[in-house]
Chains A and B, each alone.
Chain A
Amino acid sequence: MMVLIILTAAGILAMFASVFNGRSVVLPVSLSGLFAAGYFALLEWNTNTTYFEAMRMDNFAIAFTVVCLFAAFVFLLLYHYMHYSSDVHYAEVISIILFSLAGVVVMVSFTSMLMLFLGIEILSLSLYILAGLKKKDLLSNEASLKYLLMGAFATGFLLFGIAMLYGATGSFMLSDIAYYLGLHKAVAEPFIVTGIIMLMIGLLFKVAAAPFHFWTPDVYQGAPTLVTGYMATVGKVAAFAALVRVFQLGFSPALETYQFLFAAVAVTTMFIGNITALYQKSVKRMLAYSSISHAGYMLIALMAANEVTNGAVLFYSIAYTLASLLAFAVVAILQQKSGSDEVSVFNGLSKSSPLMSITFAVAMLSLAGIPPTAGFFAKFYVFSAAISDGWVWITVLAIINSFISVYYYFAPVIASYMKKGNEEGIVLATPVKVLLAIIALLTLLIGLLPGSLSYLI
């Protein structure tokens, strides 16, 4: 509860600061808001406090909240250093980000469908706006409109599913729905099945899993690069946490209804994401397809639905968030310098900025799942969750996919080390340098000491 209040208050302060010519206080206010929110979230660790029967801050919710707060922190700093003087809407953007984080908190801690819906809408609405930030750039306009139309369409399906479940069970509370499903063995009841499938379609749209992924590449490519990074990290992780939560708390008694559907979706998502990524010239678009394929890997953990699922999804989210933050940060900086997002902008990066080329390499290693990075253990936990339930075939397919992905992840890394290019040094602000280094170190550290992180929740 405190988390929501602090984030909203910080957002309002940031919004008003620009009215009273206080542009310089926006960043301190919002960063301290993020820290306070994180602190108050962690205070509730192990307490399982429930608020108004609508949200519960259990460990799952707190862990995902903190991950998203960290990603937002990185994003805010980068945004500050890249756009402080150039963007007219600097303060408004930051306040929208803070409000969207309130949506994230709701999305990962809901116990009723109403809160799920509100959380998703707050986050999505913020992302539609952020995607269209470059008002005069037609690509950004297009991304924003596509995202809006597709998102609203998906919301329709989500709501239809919720309404059907309400019709069958007479409640919006996840616990009531789970109770009903357990009591009636209502696995084959038409209202329940239609409800679950429609809701699943709506949520799969939001996490960009195939066959509902078609909006992702266009939106990710058209949106301003930092916003794409925000969508690919916070947007994706929060939507995934919501998906896990609703299926685990609400529908676990009806597991056999949807388990195979998830398996099919996971396999198609991985293959479509990885194979299409091979053909991309734009690094941004390549990362978009890669983020689609990562949704596929995470769906495997969700499908397994055993006691290690939560831990595996959390670990995967952390590894994926860290690596994506690094990748998008580097791409954003290079794009601002050169105005292009093709692989060729990486030529000679190891000379012009050794730090950026090293951190980018770490990010790619982690996304490809190569030890000793966090990405390796993320995949390891997901696969072991699947194998412990006997899903060997899907694990084999996932490992094949990991090998495919190595090819396209290495293209920009090779370009930055092997090819000659513009060797003029790139100057970065010190905090950005420190930030990049810290994230890269964290990725390696988690990879070397995976330890208890996966048993956290």
Chain B
Amino acid sequence: MIPQIFQTVPIEHFVYLSAVLFVIGVVGVLTRSNAIIIFMSVELMLNAVNLLLVSFSSYHQDPAGQIFVFFIMAVAAAEVAVGLAIITMIYRNTHSVDINDMSRLKG
């Protein structure tokens, strides 16, 4: 059965909500210079996608969308583990996680 909410709130509004969250994430990636906050903005983008998938999944009454969400969560967790390891490694060498300090590669 399709959730009651779709009788009063059109699916498009869920799509708009996740588009707004996604764009906030994109702006975060582009404006901040702390590597950890950039990474958090990426997590926000992924959550926007999750919201989108779950809304579509409920709308179509198809479990595949929610399964995909589990995989996104799993991948996000793995990515965070590796990402934070990389950030820690850099912090050990430079005592900074600011991407403005990382412009040694130029050509």
Mask: chain A, 108-145; 1 = CB below 8 Å from B; 0 = not: 00000110011001000100110010011011011111
Give chain B interface residues in 61-107, CB to chain A under 8 Å.
Answer: 62, 64-65, 67-68, 71-72, 75, 78-79, 82-83, 86-87, 89-90, 93-94, 99, 102, 104-105, 107
Residues of B contacting A: mostly: helix
Q: Name the contact of B105 in the complex, choosing from A114, A159, A221 (C-beta under 8 A).
A: A221
A142 CA / B106 CA spacing, docked (Å): 12
Q: Find the residue from B48, B49, B59, B99 having the highest chain A CB count within 10 A.
A: B49
A114-B71, A141-B89 known; A152 and B83 CB under 8 Å? yes
Q: Determine if B86 and A117 form an interchain contact, defined as CB atoms under 8 angstroms apart.
A: no
**Closest A residue to B103 using CB positions:** A142
Q: Give the contact-size bracket for chain A.
A: 35 or more
Q: Determine if B82 and A148 form an interchain contact, defined as CB atoms under 8 angstroms apart.
A: yes
Residues on the B chain within 8 Å of A170, using CB: 56, 60, 62
A149-B38, A152-B42 known; A128 and B107 CB under 8 Å? no
Q: Name the contact of B39 in the complex, choosing from A118, A149, A217 (C-beta under 8 A).
A: A149
Q: Name the contact of A167 in the complex, choosing from B15, B25, B45, B71 (C-beta under 8 A).
A: B15
Q: Determine if B46 and A153 form an interchain contact, defined as CB atoms under 8 angstroms apart.
A: no
Give chain A interface residues in 153-193, CB to chain B under 8 Å.
Answer: 153, 155-156, 159-160, 162-164, 166-167, 170-172
Residues on the B chain within 8 Å of A153, using CB: 26, 29, 42, 45
Q: Determine if B89 and A156 form an interchain contact, defined as CB atoms under 8 angstroms apart.
A: no
**A44 interface hit (Cβ, 8 Å):** no
Stretch in A235-243, A279-287, A357-365, A393-401 touching the partner = A279-287
* A197 to B: closest C-beta gap in Å: 14
Q: Determine if B42 and A156 form an interchain contact, defined as CB atoms under 8 angstroms apart.
A: yes
**A222 interface hit (Cβ, 8 Å):** yes
Residues of A contacting B: mostly: helix
**Closest B residue to A286 using CB positions:** B107
**A58 interface hit (Cβ, 8 Å):** no
* B16 to A: closest C-beta gap in Å: 12
A248 CA / B97 CA spacing, docked (Å): 41
**Closest B residue to A221 using CB positions:** B105
Q: Determine if B105 and A139 form an interchain contact, defined as CB atoms under 8 angstroms apart.
A: yes
Q: Find the residue from A118, A128, A148 having the highest chain B CB count within 10 A.
A: A148
Give chain A interface residues in 272-315, CB to chain B under 8 Å.
Answer: 279-282, 285
Q: Determine if B86 and A167 form an interchain contact, defined as CB atoms under 8 angstroms apart.
A: no
**Closest A residue to B102 using CB positions:** A142
Q: Name the contact of B71 in the complex, choosing from A117, A125, A132, A139 (C-beta under 8 A).
A: A117
Residues on the B chain within 8 Å of A222, using CB: 105
Q: Determine if A285 and B107 form an interchain contact, defined as CB atoms under 8 angstroms apart.
A: yes
Residues on the B chain within 8 Å of A138, using CB: 93-94, 104
Residues on the B chain within 8 Å of A125, using CB: 78-79, 82
**A146 interface hit (Cβ, 8 Å):** yes
Q: Which 6 pairs between the two chains have the least Cβ-Cβ distance? A: A156-B45, A218-B105, A167-B56, A163-B52, A159-B49, A152-B42
20 A-B residue pairings within 8 Å (CB atoms)? A113-B68, A117-B71, A117-B75, A125-B79, A132-B89, A142-B104, A145-B102, A146-B99, A146-B102, A148-B83, A153-B26, A153-B42, A156-B49, A163-B52, A167-B52, A172-B68, A217-B107, A218-B105, A221-B107, A280-B107
